[in-house]
Amino acid sequence: MSRVDRYILSLFWVSFAAGLVIFVTLFMATDVMSNVLRYKAVDTGVFLSYYGYFLPEIIHKMLPVASVVGLVLTISTLNKGSELIALFASGLSLFRISRWIFISLLIVGVIDYVASDRLLPMFTKQKNFTFYNFIEQKPSKFQTIKTDKIWYRSKNTIFNIKTLNAEGNLAQGLTLYFFDEAWNLKQLLTAESVVLEGSKWLLQNGTISVFSSDSSFPLNDKFDQKTIVMAEDAQDLRSTGQTSDLLSHSELSRYISKNKEAGLDTVKYEVDYFSKLSFALAGLVMSLLALPFCVGQARGGGMAKNAGIVLGLVVAYWIIYSSMQTMGYHGTLPPFLAAWGSNIMMAGLGVFFLLRLKK
């Protein structure tokens, strides 16, 4: 690494860090104001705990934005002091000047992927626990999702589900435990499959065991089909089908395999599986696209134009990224293309404009 490379990297890391701090602060400030106004009775300490768990996720989301900010401000600074022209005159290409910035962004992406895969599920579980128990104060909405089973409580009923589809309306392997007010087990119900329609559940191929204080043995009965009505808060189970953010990459892979074996739809999980890696490289891809525009606009002058570049690229990327994910969730696009399509498209455009700029 030459002295010039070290100088450029020093400019980049300062701009990157500044951008990350600014955007993380803006995101948190907006979210804090919204929640404080909505949940006025919640203690300040609870919010501090909640945002302590939320902070790693916010940093993860803002890294791509900080990457683009770092690149654009670095090139703008070089151009403002006519250093960019001097580097061009010495025979260095734009990509050669930015080489170590892109190497740094690749390293950031790898570290972000590993850290988010290992740490984010843990922090997200704690964040959700704090939110549902102490902020929204609806603990029935919180559950600890595991790859082998899902436990959920609805008033005096506890149930275990082996697999649940992403929409939360079809489950396999249900076990229901019904308790009385003194928490004595009154009834045990099992079913191979369940169709969930709000509070009305259609159970198929199961057994019922009734426990009575008058008998030492339960009364057992089998059924082919049975409809039961659950408490209203059992409808919250639909929202807990979104498990991808609570699982690591390897856990999500096993979860997908298990759902496929159970005959459940896994399209959404597959899109999220591929998105975990594609998102880690979003900053690298957006920066590649920003580079040729940054130089062209910088010659026209002004930080305002460069700020517009950053904002425009981030918005464009998120529109394409979110749109493709949505199409993937609905089966319009294959899961891999839904997750990687925006990166492939943006990287292709970046290379195209760089080649045009060189000519």
* Strand boundaries in the chain, DSSP class E: 150-154, 157-164, 170-179, 185-197, 200-210, 219-229
Is 107 in the same domain as 227?
no
Residues 16 and 133 in one domain: yes
Domain end among 207, 242, 277: 242
Query: pLDDT tens digits for the chain (359 residues)?
Result: 788 899 999 999 999 999 999 999 999 999 999 999 999 889 999 999 999 999 999 999 999 999 999 998 898 888 887 888 888 888 888 888 999 999 999 999 999 999 999 999 889 889 988 998 899 887 766 654 444 567 777 677 888 888 776 556 778 888 988 888 888 888 999 999 888 887 788 999 999 999 887 777 788 899 999 998 876 555 555 554 456 787 888 888 887 887 776 566 789 889 999 999 999 999 999 999 888 877 755 444 556 676 677 678 778 888 999 999 999 999 999 999 999 999 999 999 888 888 887 54
Does some domain include residue 142? no
Does residue 213 lie within any of the structural domains? Answer: yes
48 and 79 housed in the same domain? yes
Euclidean distance between CA atoms 345 and 317, whole angstroms: 10
In a domain, 78, yes or no: yes
* 165, 105: one domain: no
Residue 8 sits in the same domain as residue 121 = yes
23 with 114, same domain: the answer is yes
Return the structure tokens found at 170.
């079809």
Residues 187, 108, single domain; the answer is no
Residue with tokens 């807990």: 240
Asked whether residue 319 is assigned to any structural domain, the reply reads yes
Same domain, 331 and 353: yes
Q: How many domains does the chain have?
A: 2
Prediction pTM value = 0.76
User: Do 43 and 114 sit in the same domain of this protein?
Assistant: yes
| 218 in any annotated domain | yes
Q: Look at residue 144 and tell me if it is in a domain.
A: no
- Are 30 and 132 in the same domain? yes
- 338 within some domain: yes
CB contact at 8 A, 95 and 103: no
**165 shares its domain with 130:** no
Range of the domain at 225: 151-242
In the sheet that holds 219-229, the strands lie side by side as 150-154, 157-164, 170-179, 185-197, 200-210, 219-229
The answer on 101 and 9 residing in a single domain is: yes
Q: Which of 193, 226, 242 is the last residue of a domain?
A: 242
Q: Among 204, 226, 242, give the residue marking a domain's end.
A: 242
Please state, in angstroms and rounded to a whole number, the distance separating the CA atoms of residues 30 and 24: 10
C-alpha to C-alpha distance for 199 and 100, rounded to whole angstroms: 57
φ, ψ for residue 3, nearest 5 deg: -65, -35
Under DSSP, is residue 81 helix (H, G, I), strand (E, B) or coil? coil
Q: Is 209 helix (H, G, I), strand (E, B) or coil?
A: strand
Query: Is 143 a domain residue?
Result: no
